[in-house]
């Protein structure tokens, strides 16, 4: 009898969870023929078909349904082995990490360094995007860990809360001083990308305080927002952690119109299944790095 391997079990569970070989292949960074071969080898090892392939889709057979619970226990046991026995420096694999730009500009480099120190053989692939795209990628199993404006309100997702980023209003040092700082808000207001929570919250607050004729220029690039503020093309409410250098070098200055948008709240979010000690460790390290950055 052929032996059952961990790779076969993982491929089987991914096909079951994601509903097809194509999605499983994408989630495992494999080709569809490779996943199909693992399923075929698993079926050969158990001596029975696990999927009913008639009708153009994949449905579990009775034997396949029986295998699911055993495969999940096998997967869980390997996770405990990985956590308690296997040395982190010997673990190979790939971590698909998605981060918001605010995080990327603040402490992503330190997180990658910490991860590399713990898992020197781990391949880290990261993507910087807006939170809604990161959320969708996580739920579609295209990311292993997403550091985004959270939490992600899905039963399948674990959220690790991270320290927030306070926002401050900024205007160019070239701008004339106003006795009433709220007058700066009559200028174009540079903001986060349109399909983000910070943009929506800021727009609602501006409509309430200024009116619907306020001029907002959304951008997916925070560095661009800072440069445009510096060039006196508008004002913006941006993370104080990123604005500190601009203020210290005299390029922009803070102003207080009497209110400020709420802090940005981030989470390190990952799927509860399949359970991965490596991903959980990465989320914990993200929390440690974020706290160190916040209280430095």
Asked whether residue 1 is assigned to any structural domain, the reply reads: no
| pLDDT at site 27 | 77
Of 57, 86, 115, the last residue of a domain is 86
pTM, whole model, 2 decimals?
A: 0.81
Task: Clarify whether residues 133 and 20 are in a common domain.
Answer: no
User: Is there a single domain that holds both residue 151 and residue 291?
Assistant: yes
Structural domain boundaries enclosing 21 = 6-86
Are 72 and 127 found together in one domain?
no
CA distances from 207 to 201, 210, 212, 289 (A): 10, 5, 5, 36
Residues 257 and 289 in one domain: no
Whether residues 179 and 239 fall in one domain: yes
CA distance 60 to 81: 28
Do 149 and 232 fall into the same domain?
no
Give the angle subtended at the CA of 119 by the CAs of 87 and 69, to the nearest 5°: 65
Question: Are residues 105 and 79 part of one domain?
Answer: no
pLDDT for the residue numbered 79: 74
In the numeric block, which tokens belong to residue 87?
A: 């040395």
Residue 36 lies in a domain: yes
CATH number at residue 201: 3.40.190.10
What pLDDT does residue 89 have? 66
148 by DSSP, 3-state: which?
strand
Q: Are residues 234 and 192 in the same domain?
A: yes
Tell me what pLDDT residue 1 has. 53
- All residues at 6 or more sequence positions from 225 whose CB lies less than 8 Å from its CB, including other chains: 190, 191, 219, 236, 238
Give the residue from 29, 62, 86 where a domain finishes. Answer: 86
Cβ proximity of 270 and 157 under 8 Å: yes
Pair (272, 154) in one structural domain: yes
Query: Do 133 and 257 fall into the same domain?
Result: no
Please tell me whether residues 142 and 280 are part of one structural domain.
yes
The Cα–Cα gap between 53 and 91 comes to 35
| Mode of pairing for the β-strands spanning 266-271 and 145-149 | antiparallel
How many folded domains does the chain comprise? 3
Q: In the listed set 35, 62, 86, which residue is the last one of a domain according to the structure? A: 86
The pLDDT tens digits for 52-107 are 887 767 889 999 899 988 888 888 887 777 766 666 666 678 899 999 999 999 99
| Closest-CA residue to 225 (of 107, 127, 105) | 105
- Counting as low any pLDDT under 50, the low residues of the chain are none
């Amino acid at each position: 009898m052929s032996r059952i391997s961990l790779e076969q079990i993982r491929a089987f569970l991914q096909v079951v969870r994601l509903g097809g070989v194509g999605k499983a292949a994408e989630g495992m960074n494999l080709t569809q023929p490779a996943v199909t071969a693992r399923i075929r080898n698993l079926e050969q090892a158990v001596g029975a078909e696990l999927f009913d392939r008639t009708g153009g889709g994949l449905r579990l057979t009775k034997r396949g349904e029986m295998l699911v619970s055993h495969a999940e226990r096998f997967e869980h046991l390997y996770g405990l082995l990985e956590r308690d026995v296997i040395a982190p420096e010997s673990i190979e694999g790939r971590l698909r990490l998605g981060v918001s730009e605010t995080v990327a500009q603040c402490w992503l480099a330190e997180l990658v360094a910490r991860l590399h120190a713990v898992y020197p053989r781990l391949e880290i692939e990261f993507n910087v995007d807006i939170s809604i795209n990161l959320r969708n990628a996580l739920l579609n199993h295209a990311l292993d860990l997403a550091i985004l404006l959270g939490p992600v309100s899905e039963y399948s997702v674990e959220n690790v809360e991270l320290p927030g980023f306070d926002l401050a209003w900024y205007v160019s040092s070239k701008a004339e001083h106003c006795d009433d700082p709220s007058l700066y808000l009559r200028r174009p207001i540079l903001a986060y990308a349109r399909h983000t929570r910070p943009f929506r919250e800021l727009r609602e607050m501006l409509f309430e305080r200024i009116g619907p004729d306020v001029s907002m220029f959304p951008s997916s690039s925070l560095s661009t927002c800072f440069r445009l503020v510096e060039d006196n093309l508008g004002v913006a409410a941006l993370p104080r952690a990123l604005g500190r250098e601009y203020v210290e070098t005299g390029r922009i200055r803070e102003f207080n119109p009497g209110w400020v948008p709420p802090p940005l709240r981030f989470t390190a979010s990952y799927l509860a299944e399949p359970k991965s000690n490596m991903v959980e460790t990465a989320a914990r390290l993200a929390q440690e790095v974020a706290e160190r950055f916040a209280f430095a």
